[in-house]
Homo-oligomer: A and B are copies of this chain.
Amino acid sequence: MSKEDSSSANSGAANGATRMLQTLVDAGVDTCFTNPGTSEMHFVAAIDQQQGMRSILGLFEGVVTGAADGYARMADKPACTLLHLGPGLANGLANLHNARRAHTPVINLVGEHATYHRELDAPLTADINGFAEPVSGWIKTCNSADELAGAAADAVTASLQPPGQIASLILPADTAWTDTQVTAEPNPLPVRTSVTDAQIEGVAAVLRSGEPCVFLLGDIATREQALDTLGKISEHCGATLLGDTFLSRQSRGAGRVPLDRLPYFAEQAIEVLAPFKHLILVGTKAPVSFFAYPGVPSTLAGQDTQIHSLAGVGDDIHGALDGLAQALGADKLAPPRAELALPGLPSGSLDLAAIGAAVATLLPENAIVMNEAATSGFAIPGPTATAAPHEWLDLTGGAIGMGIPAATGAAVACPDRKVVCLQADGSGMYTLQGLWTQAREGLDVTTVIFANRKYAILQVELMRVGVGNPGPKAFDMLDLSRPDLQWVSLAQGMGVPAEQATSADEFVAALRRGLETPGPYLVEVLL
């Protein structure tokens, strides 16, 4: 896994931690989301001394890893995390699961006991490699200070291996504190694998057939450049464009090529796909339902639908789309683009449609929308499709608690853009500590909490999986009331100004205040 060259002697004393930090900075990694402990103190000191590395503290590791995910989705380069031994990594695993599903490059620097201390089974000793395996595409445990600079270079390369993955470095404390002369230069950047002409020609032939075709898009195919080309192709042959249900990042709004999503519920997704003779995959795989349900198929494409792959996840999607557009003679066409159309500000009672209208109307140009609104978010995509241009980030792996942290990281990556975090209350409670980091760093995030005071999706799912006649004990497990959470109080407790909205007019005023206020702001919507 590790590259064995590119290291050279360097004058002056420095420890492993310092050498590692230098290599990371030289490779362009300049942001570290941290929650260190005793075994990482030499990394803390090295970051302290390394002017090229910004450090951002999260008060829980789920915040740290979720922020790294949101950061890299917007910065298009990895952040590193600094985590305390096995438990520190364990606390960050759920959001690393989401990052893995989003193909986000993340570099975890995970502290470990000193090499000679590991075998003693001290209380914090754990199988760090075991914790890291399920989420990591690349893992390396270093055993001497001489390895750290080279390992850092390799971790950067590994994290950027297309389409992007999680690289975890396990770093015993003595490898950090021991001096070493060994340095390392950054490795060349990995590149995406080209798609063959035959693959392109095969899809071109399908599109020329005149039979109903739908593109299903993931990876970077839902960003502006790829969507432009897809728009030309669609314009040429009438194929439908659909994004995966949950996307790492989508370019949306006025001036962008419109893109609907595959519905969440299996029955609806099956219905949407049914009319198509051909399903063409670009940066994704054949669609499956999120969960299994008794009596409902888990695969969503119909049995008569032929599935074709233009470009796999991590392939050279831009090259494949350009090639396809040329093969079809579509490359000179103008793609369809959404025109700005704002629904106007709502008034009167507050419902999801009113929230969608207000968000769409007030959304600033080039905003970043982080969507973890769950059932409350169903009315947002419609009106925002013709709002000011923006980037849209989803909860990709279903591990709730990504919204507040990822919004935090996105704001770190893009200090000149407003981040709007659409956050379900149940999911938000998982990693609410991220609000504190927003306050400390003065991050420009406006959070909308959808306070329906229940795990609403589960009340739906309880019925859908065939549970008849549930009683009060069942509903209690899906309910966040008794007592009601007071998000204004929670946010203020972490230094984030907040207010509650109970009518559409209050919501408009509150959202406007949030968007006009530099730094973080939270609006709790009572549903």
Cα of A467 to Cα of B120 in the assembled complex, Å: 24
Among residues of B, the one whose C-beta sits closest to the C-beta of A96 is B90
List B contacts of A36 (CB < 8 A): 458, 477-478
Residue count of chain A within 8 Å CB distance of chain B: 100
Interface: A143 (CB within 8 A): no
List B contacts of A276 (CB < 8 A): none
Contact A470 B48 (CB under 8 A): yes
Contact B298 A467 (CB under 8 A): no
- A97 and B117 in contact (CB under 8 A), knowing A91-B430, A465-B38, A476-B55? no
Contact A492 B495 (CB under 8 A): no
Cα of A429 to Cα of B432 in the assembled complex, Å: 10
Interface: A177 (CB within 8 A): yes
Contact A467 B44 (CB under 8 A): yes
Interface: A278 (CB within 8 A): no
Q: Which of A88, A288, A399, A476 counts the most chain B CB atoms within 10 A?
A: A399
Contact B91 A87 (CB under 8 A): no
Among residues of B, the one whose C-beta sits closest to the C-beta of A133 is B130
List B contacts of A458 (CB < 8 A): 36-38, 41
Binds B, one of A57-65, A161-169, A183-191, A204-212: A57-65
Q: Mark A453-496, 1 if CB is under 8 A from B, else 0.
A: 00001100110011100111110111110111111111011110
Cα of A363 to Cα of B484 in the assembled complex, Å: 31
Among residues of B, the one whose C-beta sits closest to the C-beta of A496 is B483
Cα of A124 to Cα of B60 in the assembled complex, Å: 22
Contact B122 A130 (CB under 8 A): no
Interface: A348 (CB within 8 A): no
Among residues of B, the one whose C-beta sits closest to the C-beta of A245 is B123
CB-contacts of A328-374 with B (<8 A): none
Among residues of B, the one whose C-beta sits closest to the C-beta of A463 is B41
- A465 and B177 in contact (CB under 8 A), knowing A36-B477, A123-B397, A398-B87? yes
Interface: A34 (CB within 8 A): yes
Binds B, one of A225-233, A433-441, A503-511: A433-441
List B contacts of A62 (CB < 8 A): 91
List B contacts of A103 (CB < 8 A): none
Interface: A289 (CB within 8 A): yes
List B contacts of A133 (CB < 8 A): 127, 130
Q: How far is the CB of A412 from chain B (nearest CB, A)?
A: 15
Contact A116 B298 (CB under 8 A): yes
Interface: A14 (CB within 8 A): no
Contact B60 A429 (CB under 8 A): yes
Q: How far is the CB of A88 from chain B (nearest CB, A)?
A: 8
Interface: A299 (CB within 8 A): yes
List B contacts of A90 (CB < 8 A): 90, 93-94, 97, 399
Which residue of the partner chain, among B44, B59, B285, contacts A480 with CB atoms under 8 Å?
B59
List B contacts of A289 (CB < 8 A): 117, 122
Contact A126 B116 (CB under 8 A): no
Q: How far is the CB of A255 from chain B (nearest CB, A)?
A: 30
Q: How far is the CB of A14 from chain B (nearest CB, A)?
A: 14
- A288 and B48 in contact (CB under 8 A), knowing A90-B93, A426-B59, A465-B38? no
Interface: A292 (CB within 8 A): yes
- A41 and B465 in contact (CB under 8 A), knowing A59-B480, A120-B288, A483-B495? yes
A-side interface residues toward B, CB under 8 Å?
Answer: 34, 36-39, 41-42, 44-45, 47-49, 55, 57, 59-60, 62, 85-88, 90-91, 93-94, 97, 101, 113-114, 116-117, 120-124, 126-127, 130-131, 133-135, 173-174, 177, 246, 285, 288-292, 294, 298-299, 396-401, 426, 429-430, 432-433, 436, 439-440, 457-458, 461-462, 465-467, 470-474, 476-480, 482-490, 492-495
A/B interface sample: 27 pairs, CB < 8 A: A41-B467, A47-B473, A55-B476, A57-B479, A85-B398, A87-B93, A87-B97, A91-B94, A93-B93, A113-B291, A117-B298, A121-B285, A121-B288, A123-B397, A124-B397, A124-B398, A124-B399, A130-B130, A173-B291, A174-B292, A177-B294, A177-B466, A436-B485, A439-B483, A483-B494, A483-B495, A489-B490
* CB-based closest 9 A-B pairs: A483-B495, A87-B399, A489-B493, A114-B292, A48-B474, A490-B493, A90-B93, A117-B292, A127-B134
